[in-house]
Amino acid sequence: MTQISLKDFERYSSRKAIQATLRRVKISEEGSYEEFVEQLYDDIDQLIYRMQAGPEVRQSDSEDRLSSEVLGGLSIMGYDAVADGKTGGHVDLSVKMGQFSWVGEAKKDGNFHEGFLQLTTRYVPASGNFSHNQGGLIFYLIETPDARGKLDTWRDKLVSQGHACVDCTRNRLAFYSDHKYASSGTNFKVRTMGVSLYHKPQDKSARISAAKKAGKKAAAGG
């Protein structure tokens, strides 16, 4: 295994990826819960952006497959990130780092409200500590165009129910909303994140490709 010298560290330590790794280590040892969540959301956003950069290869992916991509990326970054963690139910995303924890629910082109109810009425913090009071909703939008419009409609519904909502300043397809855990009555902050994976091009090349696929399907008796 290649050894890293002090000179190597000084040379590369200013790079963004190295800085992020050092922040995670520091947070796990002596950070606050707010710092943990801030770093986690920055890392989740980077994984979402990578997914959005290649929507054409994710058109047949299941909800579990898409979530496994997020969890796998977080695990590589040093988080304890698993699916189906037992936290009052079988949660889609359970993430821990040191003493801190976060849970998330994911839906693919599905019922926003159902995911919201699962997150706020069924699940509890993975640590059991209600001061770990943030969680997330991730909506994979493959068959759904206009991701921002879909999120705005959902946000308007939350506001009409009395939940305060605030824009996320770093991700155009994300916002925060304030709620309460049904069980404890304690405050719970949710970050809703849309993942725009809609991909139905209408250019000439796309039309030719679609025609060829239709021809092959007809020839196969489909």
Q: Looking at the domain assignment, is residue 52 inside a domain? A: yes
Query: Is the pLDDT reported for residue 98 higher than 70?
Result: yes
Q: Looking at the domain assignment, is residue 176 inside a domain? A: yes
Q: Looking at the domain assignment, is residue 2 inside a domain? A: no
Q: Looking at the domain assignment, is residue 1 inside a domain? A: no
172, 190, 92: which is closest to 135 by C-alpha? 190
- What pTM was computed for the model? 0.86
Q: What is the mean pLDDT of the chain?
A: 87
Residue 92: CA count within 13 A, CB half-sphere:
24
Could you list the residue range(s) of the whole structural domain that residue 59 is in?
11-219
pLDDT in tens, 133-158: 999 999 999 999 999 999 999 999 99
What would you report as the CA-atom Rg of the chain, rounded to the nearest whole angstrom?
Answer: 20
Q: Looking at the domain assignment, is residue 139 inside a domain? A: yes
Residue tagged 């969890």 (tokens): 71
